[in-house]
Amino acid sequence: MGVQLDDIPGLKDALAEAREREDTLRSQAFIDTPFEICGVDVEQFKPRHLQTLCLVRSPFFYRREEPIGPEDIAMFFWIVSPEYSPGDRETRDLYLGELLHRLPTSDVVIPKIDEYLAEAFFDEPEARSGPASDPIACMEALLVHEFGAAYRWTPAQTLNTPFAQLYQLLRLIRRDEAARQGRRVAFINRISSKVKRLFVKSFLESEKAKSERLDGEENRG
């Protein structure tokens, strides 16, 4: 017999909280105000940020043996800062020097940056089905192509739009594309799906342990 979700204690309230969080993330993506990470102002994460971080081989996107250090964190903050100015070394050096003196420890900041990035990619669409093939363009080019075709945006518009906005719009583009073909497409809501998965797993493990305990008592009897 399958698990009835209504039978799982606490799941209904946890799902309601998770869905409220999803609604908040989606709405705040369209509020044009700086975010804050550990007291540091940052812009919403955009394709141009990702592009620059990849160019400098940021360890937040490239694995390496050395742990992420204060200089890596400070450079990340500089690139996503509202003060960022490409090519302005004097402003960059002043910013980095000042920031390094007031940054919390790495074990405090890194999880917050990971959370900031996870929220930016929260609505990232699932990969399209079909056989895998070698890439023919970078992610930025794919986004520029998609939004140029759908909305006639310029490359600059796309690259300077937060991922949290782009991915919601991309879901709608995919939905409308499927509707024109007479199909329906399902999307995953990652926060509520994770909550449901964890609660179901915990419930099943609890029921299994309870059953094994009862079997043991019967055998002893």
- Rounded to whole angstroms, the Cα distance separating 119 from 186 reads 20
Is 29:171 a contact under the CB 8 Å cutoff? no
Kind and range of the H or E run holding 40? strand 40-42
Indicate the pTM of the whole model: 0.83
Please give the share of the chain, as a percent, with pLDDT higher than 70.
92
Q: Look up residue 71 and give its two tokens.
A: 């200089």
Q: What 3-state class would DSSP assign to 124?
A: coil
What pLDDT, in 10s, does the model give residues 43-95? 999 999 999 999 999 999 998 889 999 999 999 999 999 999 998 999 999 99
Residue ranges of the domains in the chain?
1-29+162-221, 32-120+137-154
- Residue spans of beta strands (DSSP E) within the chain: 35-37, 40-42
> What tokens does 102 get?
């007031």
